[in-house]
Amino acid sequence: DGGITQSPKYLFRKEGQNVTLSCEQNLNHDAMYWYRQDPGQGLRLIYYSQIVNDFQKGDIAEGYSVSREKKESFPLTVTSAQKNPTAFYLCASSPRRDANEQFFGPGTRLTVL
């Protein structure tokens, strides 16, 4: 089955710890994206990558970091510098650089205790 997988579905961390969220796709898509979703605020773009070894900051990149060493993988690290990291994180991918349509993973709910 082709698709996007995110793991884990639920993640708990102590305040001050870095944590890495996994995103893998086997759709052979060029572009990948990370969003944060908070109640009542819709989706906010954190980082995106159009090709391997290249990525750009989105609207709320502070406190986050990413890498794109492989086409199928786009992990997101939530660092201790992120002041309010508890949220639902969504990864997406797109088959073309023009982002005409995005395909989403099931999401990871991160709770920082």
- Binding residues for other proteins, per CB under 8 A? 4, 6, 31, 40-43, 45, 48, 50, 58, 90, 92, 94, 96-107
Query: Smaller CB distance to other proteins: residue 16 or 40?
Result: 40
Q: Which is nearer to other proteins, 23 or 78 (CB)?
A: 23
Q: CB-wise, 57 or 81, nearer to other proteins? A: 57
Output the smallest distance, CB 16 to other proteins, in A.
28
To other proteins, the closest distance from the beta carbon of 79 in angstroms equals: 23
- The count of other CB atoms within 10 Å of the CB of residue 40 is 4
Which residue do the tokens 């290249």 mark? 54
Q: What is the Cα–Cα distance from 74 to 90, expressed in whole angstroms?
A: 12
Taking the chain, what is the end-to-end CA distance rounded to the nearest angstrom?
35
CB 75 within 8 A of CB 66: yes
